Amino acid sequence: MYSYIVRRLVFGGLTVLGVSIVVFAVLRVLPGDPLVAIFGPEGFTKLSDAERARYMAELGLSDPLIVQYFHWLGDIARGNFGRSFFRAESVADMLSRRGPLTAEIALIAVVLSWIVGIPVAIISALKPNSLGDNVSRFFSILFLAIPGFWFGMLIVLACLFWFGYRAPMAGASLFADPWTNLQIVIGPAVVLGLGQAAYIARMGRSSLLEVVREDYVRTARAKGLPARLVISLHALPNALLPVITLSGILMGFVLAGSIPVERAFAVPGLGFAMYIAVYERDVFVMQNLVFLYSIVFVMLNILIDVVIAWLDPRIRYR
Amino acid sequence: MTAADPDTTLPLDPAVAATRGIEPPRWRRLGRALRSFVRRSPLSAFWGCIAAAIVFVAVAAPVLAPYDPLKSDFRNMTKPPAEKHVFGTDQIGRDTLSRVIYGSRASLTVAIGAVLFGTTLGALWGLASGYFGGRFDLVSQRIIEFLQSFPDLILAMAIAMALGAGFGTVIVAIAITRIPFGGRVIRAVVLSLKEMSYVEAARGLGASHLRMMLRHILPQCVAPYLILATTHLGVAIIIEASLGFLGVGIPPPTPTWGNMLADSLNAGLVPPWWLVLFPGCAITVTVLSFSLLGDGIRDVIDPRLRGAVSVRGGKSAAI
């Protein structure tokens, strides 16, 4: 087990390295001149040569690309995530101030997706092609097709329209002001959670349907166990394994999905910071945030792999 | 998990089997396939019709749209739906219905372009990497893994931002996020095809690598590719709308559903409901029709692919 974990971690490290190359290639090499990306083509032509040289030197852009790449990696390794080109806020500040909100949203969304998705999956798998099954399948397909940010906008509008309610704008930490904090995070969490619940319900349904056909489930039924116990004690634990894997993958997509959703709700989280960085063409913030998001994503998947290996003795730690 | 083993593929229509020697003309075979599709899953056929209708709307936009989508009318600003403007007007008096109709053009062009480039490139890459195996396969798999270590909206955002706004860049950005999915699925198909005896026979007859790939393996990849492509059309539409909403999509004057939603947030402290409702409904119906059509195609072509493609293709849509 330990060697499996170590192997996964080493492999994860390699993946992170590859990811860093992709991020660097996309955000530093592709745009050609980063100053064009920052100032836009028009603003760039207005800069004098001296200004250009000064900015380039200031940003460490006059070094060869490979040197820049290693500088960047070194900075990250030392915990120096750089700062915005347009604002005083450093990326580290952003992380500590905005990060918790997004993390809360992601966690609540995952919990919610399980609370909603698993019962729906059980209901549809117990009686396939019944009315309940068809209704829940229709809703899961519908929620896969609804863009989360639009759903969020509708919720904001509906709350205003019918209740005259608007969630507080300013960020509040969970410990200082739990009530305000909850009002801020609950909207995006519900939207992202329901979106994920649709996947979980679909996956859970097909996985339960497969498990229910297995011999040991039939044996449990044959010995006279009530259906409730057969499902909850015998079938469900095995059926949930693929759902856990899926949930890990979805977690990363919640992080991504929270970018437009946080914008729709105007939640001052990390996703909103990413939106601003994109909007302002802030290459450096974007580069670091994208890299950090992918690290979190890779780590989550390693964590899920290890959890699955621990839960499922059939997986040999090769 | 492939459509390969001869005795489990789509059962031949007896009429077709009887006339094996004389192949009916291509269009008649197509018609027969369509009829059997409608018979087998009428619901998907219905959604297929809706998808076709959306494509038609996009093509015929100039005829169908009652107003010019770019022309502002300062006497009718932010008007709620009424007889003259069925979907209302936005803050500078542009007709929302016309903009929604024209928006389908952007969405579909981007989605089809991205899938044609991305999923196809990925599929061809998967074909080559599965066929040749060895070191090429190993390196390809690693590269695909790196690309998959990004949630795809984030990767698309970064690429679109780096390349600058524009039609082509949005297509490229979304296409790149589609590559790994095509690569993975088709590679898995090819890996099992490679072991089939008919492929071995072709090799024994001295077929070249290119001939083996194109003539003997490629045709069997068409079914999984079609399923993947239809599912990805929906995903691509959602990513395109998200990019537009975040301001890195197709630049503003062009009406796209994502841009319209982003614009509605600038229409005042409270966005007017008609500016939010209609573009979003357009996105939802379009994505719904493509994904249900994809499900239907999958069920008819090869029930064993159930789950295999939809989970891989679908997980990316968690936006």
Q: Does the beta-carbon distance from A30 to B162 stay under 8 Å?
A: yes
pLDDT of residue B312: 34
Q: Does the beta-carbon distance from A154 to B280 stay under 8 Å?
A: yes
What is the length of chain B? 319
Chain A residues with CB under 8 Å of B149 CB are: 15-16, 18-19, 294, 297-298
Q: Give the position of tokens 């032509």.
A: A45
Instruction: Give B20's pLDDT tier (boundaries 50, 70, 90).
Output: low
Q: Which of these ranges, A80-89, B124-133, B191-200, has the smallest mean pLDDT?
A: A80-89
pLDDT tens, residue by residue, A120-169: 888 888 877 778 888 888 888 888 889 889 998 888 888 887 876 776 66
Q: What is the SS3 assignment for chain A?
A: CHHHHHHHHHHHHHHHHHHHHHHHHHHHHCCCCHHHHHHHHHHHHHCCHHHHHHHHHHCCCCCCHHHHHHHHHHHHHCCCCCECCCCCCEHHHHHHHHHHHHHHHHHHHHHHHHHHHHHHHHHHHHCCCCHHHHHHHHHHHHHHHCCHHHHHHHHHHHHHHHHCCCCCCCCCCCCCCHHHHHHHHHHHHHHHHHHHHHHHHHHHHHHHHHHHCCHHHHHHHHCCCCHHHHHHHHHHHHHHHHHHHHHHHHHHHHHHHHHHHHHHHCCCCHHHHHHHHHHCCCHHHHHHHHHHHHHHHHHHHHHHHHHHHHHCCCCCCC
The alpha carbon of residue A181 is apart from the nearest alpha carbon of chain B, in Å, by 22
Highest mean predicted confidence (pLDDT) among A295-299, B76-80, B90-94: A295-299
Q: Please give the Cα distance from A89 to A85 (Å, whole number).
A: 9
Nearest CA-CA partner of A106 in B318, B253, B104:
B318
First to last CA, chain A: 10
Chain B residues with CB under 8 Å of A286 CB are: 158, 161
Chain B residues with CB under 8 Å of A195 CB are: 318-319
Give which of B47, B150, B312 to mutate to test A binding, by max A Cβ within 10 Å: B150
Gyration radius of chain A over CA positions: 24
Q: Does the beta-carbon distance from A30 to B245 stay under 8 Å?
A: no
- What is the amino acid identity at position B286? T
Instruction: Give B13's pLDDT tier (boundaries 50, 70, 90).
Output: low
B84 close to A (CB below 8 A): no
Give the dihedral sign, CA A298/A311/A102/A189.
positive
Inform me whether the pLDDT recorded for B319 exceeds 50. Answer: no
pLDDT of residue A315: 66
Look at residue B95 and give its three-state secondary structure.
Answer: strand
Q: Does the beta-carbon distance from A142 to B311 stay under 8 Å?
A: no
pLDDT tens, residue by residue, B243-274: 988 888 888 888 888 888 888 887 767 778 88
Residue B288 in contact with residue A176, Cβ under 8 Å? no
Q: Please give the Cα distance from B148 to A18 (Å, whole number).
A: 11
Q: What is the mean pLDDT of chain B?
A: 78
Q: Does the beta-carbon distance from A286 to B242 stay under 8 Å?
A: no
Nearest CA-CA partner of A276 in A75, A110, A89, A140:
A89
Q: Give the position of tokens 């075979």.
A: B29
A145 close to B (CB below 8 A): yes
Residue B127 in contact with residue B213, Cβ under 8 Å? yes
| Tokens describing residue A6 | 């170590």
What is the interface pTM, i.e. ipTM, of the complex? Answer: 0.85
pLDDT of residue A41: 65
| From B158, B270, B287, residue closest to A145, measured CB to CB | B287
B164 close to A (CB below 8 A): yes
Chain B residues with CB under 8 Å of A147 CB are: 238, 241-242, 280, 283-284, 287, 319
- For A79, half-sphere exposure in the C-beta direction (CA atoms, 13 angstrom radius) is 4
| Helix, strand, coil distribution of chain B in percent, nearest 5 | 75, 0, 25
Inform me whether the pLDDT recorded for B155 exceeds 50. Answer: yes
Tell me how many degrees the CA angle B274-B277-B280 measures, rounded to the nearest 5.
Answer: 140
Q: Which of these ranges, A36-40, A259-263, B187-191, B311-315, has the smallest mean pLDDT?
A: B311-315
Residue A306: burial class (beta carbons within 10 Å; 0-12, 13-18, 19+): middle
Nearest CA-CA partner of B258 in B165, B175, B184, B179:
B165
Q: Does the beta-carbon distance from B145 to A298 stay under 8 Å?
A: no
The alpha carbon of residue B319 is apart from the nearest alpha carbon of chain A, in Å, by 4
Q: What is the mean pLDDT of chain A?
A: 81
Q: Please give the Cα distance from A86 to A285 (Å, whole number).
A: 10
Q: Please give the Cα distance from B174 to B258 (Å, whole number).
A: 15
A249 close to B (CB below 8 A): yes
A135 close to B (CB below 8 A): no
Provide the percentage of residues in chain A whose pLDDT is more than 70.
Answer: 86
The alpha carbon of residue B45 is apart from the nearest alpha carbon of chain A, in Å, by 16
Q: How far out from the chain centre does Cα A101 lie?
A: 13
Instruction: Give A226's pLDDT tier (boundaries 50, 70, 90).
Output: confident
Inform me whether the pLDDT recorded for B6 exceeds 50. Answer: no
Inform me whether the pLDDT recorded for B2 exceeds 70. Answer: no
pLDDT of residue A112: 92
Chain B residues with CB under 8 Å of A161 CB are: 273
Q: Please list, residue by residue across B196-225, b when 16 or more beta carbons sit within 10 angstroms of its beta carbon and e when fewer do.
A: beebeebeeeeeeeeebbeebbbebbebbb
Q: Does the beta-carbon distance from A141 to B145 stay under 8 Å?
A: no
First to last CA, chain B: 29
Q: Which of these ranges, A91-100, A112-121, A153-162, has the smallest mean pLDDT?
A: A91-100
Chain B residues with CB under 8 Å of A202 CB are: 310, 314
Inform me whether the pLDDT recorded for B297 exceeds 70. Answer: yes
Residue B143 in contact with residue B273, Cβ under 8 Å? no
A203 close to B (CB below 8 A): yes
| Tokens describing residue A251 | 């977690």
pTM value?
0.84
Residue A288 in contact with residue A94, Cβ under 8 Å? no
Q: Which of these ranges, A2-16, A31-45, B134-148, B156-170, has the smallest mean pLDDT?
A: A31-45
Q: Does the beta-carbon distance from A150 to B283 stay under 8 Å?
A: yes
The alpha carbon of residue B220 is apart from the nearest alpha carbon of chain A, in Å, by 26
Considering only alpha carbons, which residue of chain B is nearest residue A289?
A: B154
| Tokens describing residue B103 | 């928006």
Chain A, window 270-309: residues with a beta carbon less than 8 angstroms from a chain B beta carbon: 274-275, 278-279, 281, 283, 286, 290, 293-294, 297-298
Q: Please give the Cα distance from A149 to A109 (Å, whole number).
A: 14
Q: Please give the Cα distance from A114 to A100 (Å, whole number).
A: 21
More confident residue, A285 or B240: B240
pLDDT of residue B308: 41
pLDDT of residue B1: 39
| From B142, B271, B319, residue closest to A256, measured CB to CB | B319
pLDDT tens, residue by residue, B156-185: 888 888 887 788 888 988 998 888 888 888
Average pLDDT over residues A263-285: 84
B277 close to A (CB below 8 A): yes
Q: Report how far apart, in Å, the C-alpha atoms of A208 and of each of A34, A195, A202 are.
A: 51, 20, 10
A66 close to B (CB below 8 A): no
Q: Please give the Cα distance from B218 to A150 (Å, whole number).
A: 40
Backbone angles phi, psi at A90, to 5 degrees: -85, 160
pLDDT tens, residue by residue, A174-184: 666 777 777 88
More confident residue, B26 or B214: B214
